[in-house]
Each structure stands twice: as C-alpha cells, then as structure tokens.
Amino acid sequence: MCKIIVLRIKSLTCSWSKSKIALGLTWAAIFSLLGLTLSQAGDKAPVSLNDQASGAQVAGAGVSGVQTQAPVQNGSLGSSKPGATASSQKLIVAALGKRLSAEIKTRGFKPGAAAFIRIFKQSSKLEIWLQDEARAKRYRRFKTYEICKWSGKIGPKIYEGDLQSPEGFYAFSPWHLRPVSRNHRAIDIGFPNAFDIALKRSGSDIQIHGKCGSVGCFAMTDKGVDEIFRMIAAAFGGGQNEIMVHIFPFRMTDQAMNRHKAHRWAGFWSNLKPAYDAFEASHIPPKIEICGGNYRTRSFARSRVSKIAAANAASCIKLEAPTLSVAARRRALARAMKPKPRIKIRCNLKRPSCRKWLFLQKRILARKSAAKSRLRHRTANRQRQ
C-alpha cells in the first residue's frame, strides 16, 4: 500500500507546474487512498505512534468494562438522537410525498402516525385510521377507500384455491411490504394467522394490492394502493412495530347481526363482534388473543369470560406479527421507503421492438419480486411452526 502511495505521489508531482487545480487533485487522491477526506484531515491533528498505542489501551479498557466518553464533535457530545429524528422525519415525508404529507397535516395528523386498517367486504370499503396524539392517542379515520375487487362471498377463507377473501384479525410487519409487485405494490396481511392454523385453514399471499383483479386478495387499483402503501411505510418509519388489519363481512351492528343470524357463519361472526364493538367504543385497536380456537379481545376476556376459560388463559396466543431483528427491520424499511424502481428506457417507444423489450423488463422485475415474496412467506411459516 505504501509503495502504491509513493508511486502515486511521484506521478502526480510531475504535474505541479501545470496548474493549482492539479495540486488540489493530488492531495485529494492521496487522502482518498489513505481512507481519509480533506475535511477529516483538516479537523484532526496528526496522530503519533504513541498516541495510537494509548488509544488502543483506552479501547481495550472500554471492552473490559470501563466506559469512555465519546469525543466531542462540532460542539455536541456525540449524541445522534436529534439528528436521527430529523433525518427519519425527512425520510417519512419523502416516503409520503408532498401531496399526501400536506393532506395528513391538514387533517391534524402527524406524518408517520401509527396506522390501523379495517375492511368491510359487503360494502367494499377499506378504512385507514391514524393515531391522533391530540386525543389521548386515540385513532381517527383518515380516509375510506373503495375496494375495486375482492373475491368470493362473505365468510372466512377455508383452504387455498377456494377464491375466497379472508375474514378475521391479522397483523403484519415491515417485512410484509412489497414495494415492487406484479400488482404495482402489495401488502401481505399475514394470512394464515394462529387462529387459521389451529383450524387447519390454508392459504398464502393474501394481499392488499393494486390493479383490479382478485383471487382471494383485496385489489385497490394502483392509485389507491399507492397511497395506502405510503402511509403504512411512513407509520413503520415513525416507530410502529406492527399494524393490525380487521376484516369484517359487514358493519357488525346489532341490526346487521340480526339480519344474518340464520347464516351458516353467524357463529363465527359473533366471535368477531366483540372486537368491532371495542374499537367503536374506544377508537383504540383492541388486543386480540387466540384461545381454544376462538378470538378474544383483552377487554372481553376480563369481563365476560367464564372461570373455566379464565383458568385456561395461559394457553392463549397473542395475535402479533413475527418479531423482526433490528437489522431485518432496517432492511425492510429501507426497501419499503425508497422510491419505486423505474426502468430506464433507452430506445424509441414508437418501435415495436422497444415496447416488447419494456414489457419483458417489467415482467422480469415482477418475477423477481414474486420469488422474494414466496421466500419470505416460507420463512414466516417455518417461524410460526
């Protein structure tokens, strides 16, 4: 390395008399080879061998348990919290986009506020609720989206291939976000959950996605899913660990339940109603548990559960998304919050060969995204088992 630097210096000093710019480039090249920048060289004093040895001793003491104070940089104490908060807020605003970020602020929410999703199949509505810090962290409805297409009839999904959209309670993490999909963007809701697995229900890749076709998913059109995806990514960027999705066949008022009391799934729907009522009363998403093949909300478990069921509460499973490591969460957020990749077109779109090339490139991207999503789904199933 030293020989390379000496040769570099010799070759660059030959151009000393040409211009002063060449001198600046010379020193920039030297510092780049040494792994330093000009700013670092100006700020830091030269370090002797004795100073390096003493620094190594301090580092060794720190490893053995002695805490050393971080060096003061630019007048601060080396604390990166304020800078990290500002940078993360910039990333959140960038992920939302100027228009959506301004709309969120206009309605009294903070960009990156915690989110909650409710879906009503019969009326084909998807609601996005955001946390309002001004109202004791209760949630307010931000927007209602029209579901372009969902498949099947009202009722739960039983097996893979039944072309039925699910019902129940699900949770997903940043790992379930798919910024690149054959359906523009997609969010895997986390089907099947522990409740579905206990009842031996099967299925995979149940998503909220773009376009307007469904084989068990909820298609929102590209414009609708783009807004939803941005808000969900911003909520994760704001610190939310998981986002709940409550899927109901209809708005579960007493009148609606009476109209469907003879339906074959009336018993299952009565199991969903306590969570619906709990959110309608408090506007705070209730905690859901799976106990003995049934859903149970936390408040409902404390007030109306029998003594036998309370004695078996230890066997209940909390409904939550798979836990991610810090590194996995960081990678998932970086993937979700970065702009959607675009294909650079270097040919004339008026030519058929160029249009065919563009079509093939889009299909390659979609296939790669589908392969990654299948791998993530298999990994999640292994973790659940």
Q: Give the tokens for residue 340.
A: 């959607």
Instruction: Give 107's pLDDT tier (boundaries 50, 70, 90).
Output: very high
Q: What is the pLDDT of residue 57?
A: 36
Helix/strand/coil for 115 = strand
Is the pLDDT confidence value at 159 over 80?
yes
Radius of gyration of the chain (CA): 28
**Cα 327-330-334 angle, rounded to 5 deg:** 140
DSSP string, 161-173: TS-----EEEEE-
Is the pLDDT confidence value at 250 over 70?
yes
pTM of the model: 0.67
**Domain assignments of the chain as residue spans, ordered by start:** 2-49, 92-341, 342-385
Instruction: Give 228's pLDDT tier (boundaries 50, 70, 90).
Output: very high
Task: Tell me, yes or no, if 209 is annotated catalytic.
Answer: yes
Q: What is the pLDDT of residue 368?
A: 74
Q: What is the pLDDT of residue 384?
A: 61
Assign residue 137 a region: left if phi > 0, alpha if psi is -120 to 50, beta otherwise? left
Q: What is the pLDDT of residue 347?
A: 75
- Return the number of other C-beta atoms located less than 10 Å from residue 40's C-beta: 11
> Can you tell me which residue has the tokens 């292994």?
382
Q: What is the mean pLDDT of residues 215-233?
A: 94
- Return the number of other C-beta atoms located less than 10 Å from residue 312's C-beta: 13
Q: What is the pLDDT of residue 21?
A: 41
Q: What is the mean pLDDT of residues 328-339?
A: 80
Q: What is the mean pLDDT of residues 318-339?
A: 83
Helix/strand/coil for 294 = strand
Q: What is the pLDDT of residue 133?
A: 83
Alpha-carbon distance of 224 to 227, in angstroms, equals 6
Is the pLDDT confidence value at 276 over 90?
yes
Could you tell me the fold of the domain covering 92-341?
L,D-transpeptidase catalytic domain-like (2.40.440)
Alpha-carbon distance of 229 to 210, in angstroms, equals 10
Q: What is the pLDDT of residue 385?
A: 60
Whether the CB-CB separation of 11 and 30 falls below 8 Å is answered with no
Instruction: Give 117's pLDDT tier (boundaries 50, 70, 90).
Output: very high
Residues 148, 184, 217, 246: which is the catalytic one? 217
Percentage of the chain lying above the pLDDT 70 cut: 68
Alpha-carbon distance of 68 to 180, in angstroms, equals 45
Q: What is the mean pLDDT of residues 139-154?
A: 95
Alpha-carbon distance of 143 to 134, in angstroms, equals 18
Percentage of the chain lying above the pLDDT 90 cut: 44
> Can you tell me which residue has the tokens 């675009």?
342
Q: What is the mean pLDDT of residues 16-29?
A: 41
**What is the rounded average pLDDT for all residues in the chain?**
76
Contacts 24+ apart (CB under 8 A), 356-364: none
Q: What is the mean pLDDT of residues 98-125?
A: 94
Q: Which residues contact 229 (CB under 8 A, 6 or more apart)?
A: 177, 179, 185, 187, 336
Whether the CB-CB separation of 215 and 179 falls below 8 Å is answered with no
Q: What is the pLDDT of residue 86?
A: 66
Q: What is the pLDDT of residue 85?
A: 65
pLDDT of 287-319, one tens digit each?
Answer: 999 988 899 987 544 444 455 555 555 578 889
Alpha-carbon distance of 137 to 365, in angstroms, equals 40
pLDDT of 66-98, one tens digit each?
Answer: 333 333 333 332 333 333 466 677 888 888 888
- Look at 338 and 157; give whichever has higher pLDDT: 157
Alpha-carbon distance of 79 to 313, in angstroms, equals 44
Residues 176, 184, 209, 246: which is the catalytic one? 209
Helix/strand/coil for 106 = helix
